Amino acid sequence: MSDLWNSSPIGRLLEEISWEGRSVRAYRDGGRGRENVLTAEALMLLDFLPRREFLGGVVESARGADGVRRKLLDGIEHAAVTLLPDETRLGAGVVVQPDAALETNDVYGLIEAKRIRTSSFQVPQLSREWTAAWAQAGDRDPLLFLILGAPPPVPVKGRGRMTIADAILLDLDGPAPKPTPDQIDNNVAWTTWDDVQSATVLACGQFTDDSTSSSTVLRLSSALVRTIDWHR
pTM over 0.85: yes
CB half-sphere exposure, 33, CA atoms < 13 A:
7
Report pLDDT digits (tens) over 13-53: 988 899 888 889 889 889 999 999 999 999 999 999 999 99
Report pLDDT digits (tens) over 87-119: 888 877 789 999 999 999 999 999 999 999 888
- Identify the pLDDT of residue 3: 64
The answer to the question of residue 103 being in a domain is: yes
Q: How many domains does the chain have?
A: 1
Residue 226 has pLDDT above 60, yes or no: yes
The answer to the question of residue 222 being in a domain is: yes
Closest to 82 in 3D by CA, of 44, 139, 120: 44
Residue 139 has pLDDT above 80, yes or no: yes
The answer to the question of residue 1 being in a domain is: no
* Residue 199, amino acid: A
d(CA 79, CA 104): 5
Q: For residue 200, give its domain range.
A: 9-230
Closest to 106 in 3D by CA, of 131, 143, 81, 135: 143
The answer to the question of residue 121 being in a domain is: yes
Phi-psi region of 150 (alpha: psi -120 to 50; beta: other; left: phi over 0): beta
- Determine which of 33-37, 204-208, 220-224 has the lowest per-residue pLDDT on average: 204-208
Residue 1 has pLDDT above 60, yes or no: no
Residue 2 has pLDDT above 60, yes or no: no
Q: How confident is the model at residue 177 (pLDDT cuts 50, 70, 90)?
A: low
- Identify the pLDDT of residue 4: 62
The answer to the question of residue 4 being in a domain is: no
The answer to the question of residue 2 being in a domain is: no
